[in-house]
Amino acid sequence: MSETSAQPLVRVENIHTYYGKSHILHGVSLEVGKAEVVGLLGRNGVGKSTTLKAIAGLVHPSQGEVLFEGRAITQLAAHRLARLGIGYVPEDRRIFRLLSVIENLRTGLDRHGVTKVRKKELLDKVYEYFPVLAERRNQAGGTLSGGEQQMLAIARSMMLEPKIILLDEPTEGLMPRMISQIREIIGVLEQEEVAVLLVEQNVPLTLEAARRIYILEKGMVRHHAPASELRADATAIHQYMGV
Amino acid sequence: MEIAFDQLLIQTINGIVTGMILALVASGLTLIFGIMDVVNFAHGELFMLGAYAGVVVLAATGDFWIALVAASLLIALLGAVIYLTTLRPLLGRDPLTTILATFGVSLVLQNYALWQFGPVARKIQEPFTGHFTLFYLDYPWYRLVIALLSAAIIGTLWLFLKISTFGVWIRATTQDRVMAQAMGIPVPWVLTVVFAIGAAMAGASGVLFGPLVGVNHAMGLDWILKAFIVVVIGGMGNLAGSIAASIFISLLEAYASLWVSPAQAIIVSFVVLILTLLFRPTGLFVPTPK
Amino acid sequence: MRLRRSTIYWTGFSVIIALLIIAPFVLPEFWRRFVTEILIWGLLAMSSDLLIGYTGMVSFGHSAFFGLGMYGAAAALLMVKPPSLWLAIPAGLIGAAAVAAFVAYFSTRLRDIYFAITTLIFSQIFYVIIFTWTEVTGGENGLTFSRPRLAIPGLFSVPFTSETLHWFVLAAVTLSYLVLRRITQSPFGMVLQSIRENEARTRAIGYPVERYKIMAVMLSGLFAGLAGVLYAIQNRFAAPDFVFFVVSGEVVIYNVIGGIGTLVGPIVGAGFFLLLREGFSRFFTEYYLIPVGVIFVAMVIFMPQGLLGFARRWLNE
């Protein structure tokens, strides 16, 4: 198992979370390096989304630490973390349905210290990657198709100029054609040196896109290996995912 | 009983004037409810204290317009304080607790006003006292100005929400508070500011309305009731709805006063409310979701 | 263990009742009336707890039930000579029941905040009607009437003395408490609580939630009306002020201060609030409601379970 040589961008150390009385995460530890694409696999309900939420600050672990660029961010508020550079794209997208496409993008764009010029650059870049969004820029988010909403959700978090984007099941409910588009987008993010922590049920996509993969089961990391290893020998995947 | 056309017209204008002030009060209430699910029982008291603040600043400066602006700012500040001390700690708890907390605050504010200013009503002088002749009546210009000003304030709010960055933040937070946070929007700050804005609108209404009636510590009670009715009829959280409902209700009451006493005219509003709840519970102007 | 718990409970209960019985002998007249008033407001708060604490329906309409109980009794006492106690009680209850039926209908169609606001508006509707319909209700000035005699037809008839009135109220309130306690601990009460916990699930299991809600509102309204009747008898007047929605708000305050879902809590809450008000009014003269209000808000924030909230489970066994 390879070690990340420099300090990891995100390090999760032994976090435990509860939902009421339910113990969801039983001591999850993982790492994402700078500009690295890391996959998080596991069956439904094992705590993958919760792990992402803990990193994004939407859920605060009762034990353990989350570190971002070496700094403990465990109890910080979610909006601070977004400004620090953690982007979050939730399951079922959750774009602002009553806001137009451009207004959705603005929620990430309108930040301190971003010049008008830079804003235009970012917008142009995103319209280049997602021409559909350019077409529909004044339409209400709720009128977009599922795949378009997914693109908007990702584009929106790119407006934050994040150092890492947490992607929660981006291909869920999408047609196969769109799935390859998601693959492309992940490639683009990698190019832009944005790290990605990808939670997915779609194993082949994850095997292809990620460099390393963690497998979660019942709130704990059960397996951790480079994707190349798992591509060659998928026993672990059959074991934990029943695929 | 024959109703003369001129009486009808006068009542129409009266209805619109009252309606616009009610709209200003109700907008603040519905804005607060829409973004943070808080039913602000103390809203009537913010209206009342706005009027008193107007009295005080007017006495000090002699200028109505300065009083209007100063009172609005003061009440905005009061609103922020109320939010930070009593509502923020209750975030995430049962919505019943916010109703109770704001009810308690309204008790405190009412009695504070009684304590500070005494039971005798005060008066705010209109900024100008011209009349124009409307049939047999000398109709004060001031009343028309109130309606216009209220419309202007609401219009500014609407523009603000539509165009400005903060307006986008407010709208995003209203739709999905969690994702707004995930997008870096400083939600706690947004909530505080929205409450302050709602409070300021109530305070401004108090000053504007002051010259029409006496300013006393109980004046908030009537208005909170009407504001609630209007907000429910217009659809909770629906800004346009509450404005339309305010005018609609005020017109109905104005017309009703041609036949019955004003105290009884409010029954009209009650009837409309009951009908709305029976047939279109999400609001008269909002299509009921299937 | 179970035996001990219930003996503790009943012992405590008996002690309190005994204290309340001897109160008129021990306390000066002012305080005697004060205790009687606490009992009456406590009954009102208790009736409201059935809705708020057990069914999870916040109502600001109890001033309407109370008011109509009061006016109903007033009507009976004024229209029938000589004034009859046993006519006044049902008259008041019928008045309250009529309002309750009205509110109950809406309770099934509205939830939560809408229901709360609607009940508030209803109590205002009744306030306006009572206030303006001067010929019938005496309008602003209300109605005054004489106190009926404590009579069991055929057996005896004596005027109420200060002591006997207190005991009569005590009996009525105690009886109501026992009945309400029986109700909340019965299967019916269990369903109400399940509605409070999770209405959708209760409905999914198959209970006709609407019917239970209507029953809850009716029961709540009846006991609130009884409180109104008792008040009318005690004070010999009926006034629209009691129908004003602020009274409903105060009732909810008693509930929260005392602890919702405990039945006894609201009575304690009423006592606490009234004592606070009495005490503060001596120091702060007219503006005593300011510190009282501040204390209330602080309690909502820091002690939401109320004074007796910690004992809630225990009290309901």
Ranges of beta strands (E only) in chain A are 10-19, 22-32, 37-41, 63-68, 71-72, 86-89, 164-168, 195-199, 212-217, 220-226
- Which of C283, C281, C287 is CA-nearest to residue B112? C287
pLDDT tens-place string over residues A163-182: 999 999 998 888 888 888 88
A90–B179 C-beta distance less than 8 A: yes
A58–B171 C-beta distance less than 8 A: no
B112–C287 C-beta distance less than 8 A: yes
- B74 Cβ contact list (under 8 Å, min separation 6): B50, B53, B203
Q: Does A94 touch chain B (CB under 8 A)?
A: yes
CA angle A176, A179, A185 (to 5 degrees): 155
Mean pLDDT of C139-167: 76
Return d(Cα C252, Cα C57) in angstroms, integer. Answer: 11
The encoded tokens of residue C210 equal 């609407």
Q: What is the pLDDT of residue C317?
A: 58
Mean pLDDT of C176-182: 90
C125–B263 C-beta distance less than 8 A: no
B270–C121 C-beta distance less than 8 A: yes
Q: What are the two backbone dihedrals, phi and then psi, of residue C206, each rounded to the nearest 5 degrees? A: 125, 0
Return d(Cα C313, Cα B34) in angstroms, integer. Answer: 36
C143-144/B131-134 β-pairing = unpaired
Contacting residues of B for C290, CB less than 8 Å apart:
108, 111-112, 115
The larger pLDDT score, comparing residue C77 to residue B193, is at B193
Q: Does residue C12 carry a pLDDT above 70?
A: yes
Q: Does residue B157 carry a pLDDT above 90?
A: yes
Return d(Cα B53, Cα B61) in angstroms, integer. Answer: 12
Q: Which chains neighbour B (Cβ–Cβ under 8 Å, 3 or more pairs)?
A: A, C
* Block mean pLDDT (10 aa), chain A, length 243: 66 90 90 92 89 93 92 91 94 91 92 87 90 90 90 93 94 86 90 92 89 90 89 82 71
DSSP at C159: P
- Beta bridge mates, A71: A68
ipTM entry: 0.88
C252–B263 C-beta distance less than 8 A: no
Cis-peptide into A204, omega within 30 deg: no
Return d(Cα A84, Cα A73) in angstroms, integer. Answer: 10
- Which of A137, A110, A142 is CA-nearest to residue A126? A137
Q: What is the pLDDT of residue A241?
A: 77
- Which of A64, A58, A59 is CA-nearest to residue A26? A64
Min Cα separation C20/chain B (Å): 31
Mean pLDDT of C49-58: 86
pLDDT tens-place string over residues C77-128: 888 777 778 888 888 898 889 888 888 887 777 777 778 888 888 888 888 8
Contacting residues of A for B183, CB less than 8 Å apart:
79, 82, 107-108, 156-157, 160
B267–C121 C-beta distance less than 8 A: no
- A111 Cβ contact list (under 8 Å, min separation 6): A83, A160, B184
The encoded tokens of residue A19 equal 């939902």
Confidence of residue C154 (pLDDT cuts 50, 70, 90): low
Q: What is the pLDDT of residue A4?
A: 47
Looking at chain C, the whole-number percentage of residues with pLDDT higher than 90 is 9
Q: Does A161 touch chain B (CB under 8 A)?
A: no
Contacting residues of B for A160, CB less than 8 Å apart:
183-184
Confidence of residue C10 (pLDDT cuts 50, 70, 90): confident
Q: Does residue B247 carry a pLDDT above 70?
A: yes
- Regarding chains B and C, contact by 3 or more CB pairs under 8 A is answered as yes
- Residues belonging to chain B: 290
Instruction: Flag the least confident range among A43-52, C9-18, C108-117, C297-306.
Output: C108-117
Q: Classify burial at B279, counting beta carbons within 10 Å of its beta carbon; exposed 0-12, middle 13-18, buried 19 or more.
A: exposed
The encoded tokens of residue A46 equal 């094992």
Contacting residues of B for C124, CB less than 8 Å apart:
225, 270
Mean pLDDT of B163-189: 92
- Which of B18, B30, B1, B4 is CA-nearest to residue B265? B18
Q: What is the pLDDT of residue B24?
A: 93
- Number of A–B residue contacts, CB under 8 Å: 64
B225–C304 C-beta distance less than 8 A: no
Q: Does residue B290 carry a pLDDT above 50?
A: no
C287–B267 C-beta distance less than 8 A: no
Return d(Cα C28, Cα C149) in angstroms, integer. Answer: 23
Q: Which contacts qualify for C11-17: CB closer than 8 Å, 24 or more apart?
A: C17/C170, C17/C174
Domain B5-279 has CATH 3.20.20: no
Min Cα separation A157/chain B (Å): 7
pTM: predicted TM-score of the whole model, two decimal places: 0.87
For testing the chain B interface, which of A107, A111, A122, A138 should be mutated: the one with the most B CBs within 10 Å? A107
DSSP at C52: I
pLDDT tens-place string over residues B204-239: 999 998 888 888 888 888 888 888 889 888 887 788
Q: Does residue B132 carry a pLDDT above 90?
A: no
- Beta bridge mates, B132: B139
Q: Which residue in B168, B172, B184 is closest to A160 by CB distance?
A: B184
- Beta bridge mates, A17: A25
Most confidently modeled of B199-208, B273-282, C201-210, C303-312? B199-208
Return d(Cα C312, Cα C14) in angstroms, integer. Answer: 19
Confidence of residue C306 (pLDDT cuts 50, 70, 90): confident
Return d(Cα C215, Cα C192) in angstroms, integer. Answer: 10
Q: Which residue in B171, B183, B186 is closest to A98 by CB distance?
A: B171
Ranges of beta strands (E only) in B141-263 are none
Q: Does residue C199 carry a pLDDT above 60?
A: yes
Contacting residues of B for C304, CB less than 8 Å apart:
93, 97
Return d(Cα A177, Cα A186) in angstroms, integer. Answer: 15
A157–B168 C-beta distance less than 8 A: no
Q: What are the two backbone dihedrals, phi and then psi, of residue B224, each rounded to the nearest 5 degrees? A: -65, -40
- Number of B–C residue contacts, CB under 8 Å: 101
Contacting residues of B for A82, CB less than 8 Å apart:
181-184
Are B15 and B248 in contact by the 8 Å Cβ rule? The answer is: no
Contacting residues of B for C297, CB less than 8 Å apart:
86, 101, 104-105, 108
- Beta bridge mates, C43: none
- B124 Cβ contact list (under 8 Å, min separation 6): B51, B54, B55, B58, B64, B67, B207, B210, B211, B215
Mean pLDDT of B188-199: 94
- Alpha carbon A49 to chain centroid, angstroms: 10
Confidence of residue C286 (pLDDT cuts 50, 70, 90): low
Q: Does residue C217 carry a pLDDT above 50?
A: yes
Mean pLDDT of C29-44: 88
- A120 Cβ contact list (under 8 Å, min separation 6): none
A99–B175 C-beta distance less than 8 A: yes
pLDDT tens-place string over residues C225-255: 999 999 988 888 888 888 888 888 888 888 8
Min Cα separation C254/chain B (Å): 11
Contacting residues of B for C287, CB less than 8 Å apart:
111-112, 114-115
Mean pLDDT of B12-37: 90
Q: Which residue in B100, B110, B229 is closest to C300 by CB distance?
A: B100
Q: What is the pLDDT of residue A99?
A: 92
Q: Does residue C147 carry a pLDDT above 60?
A: yes
- Which of A218, B100, A5 is CA-nearest to residue C250? B100
Taking all residues of chain B, what is their mean pLDDT, rounded to a whole number? 86
Taking all residues of chain C, what is their mean pLDDT, rounded to a whole number? 83
Q: Does residue B144 carry a pLDDT above 50?
A: yes
The encoded tokens of residue A108 equal 């990430």
At C56, which helix (H) or strand (E)?
A: none
Tell me how far apart the 2 most distant CA atoms of chain B are, in Å: 63
Torsion of CA C248, C251, C256, C258, to 10 degrees: 180
Q: What is the pLDDT of residue A167?
A: 95
Q: Does residue B190 carry a pLDDT above 90?
A: yes
Are B49 and B205 in contact by the 8 Å Cβ rule? The answer is: no
B184–A108 C-beta distance less than 8 A: yes
Q: Which residue in C113, C128, C301 is closest to B267 by CB distance?
A: C128
Min Cα separation B141/chain A (Å): 40
- Which of B59, B60, B22 is CA-nearest to residue B205? B22
pLDDT tens-place string over residues B52-102: 999 999 888 888 889 999 999 999 999 999 999 999 988 878 777 888 889
Q: What is the pLDDT of residue B2?
A: 63
The encoded tokens of residue C85 equal 């106690």
Min Cα separation B7/chain C (Å): 24
Return d(Cα A34, Cα A192) in angstroms, integer. Answer: 11
Q: Does A160 touch chain B (CB under 8 A)?
A: yes
Q: Does residue C285 carry a pLDDT above 70?
A: no
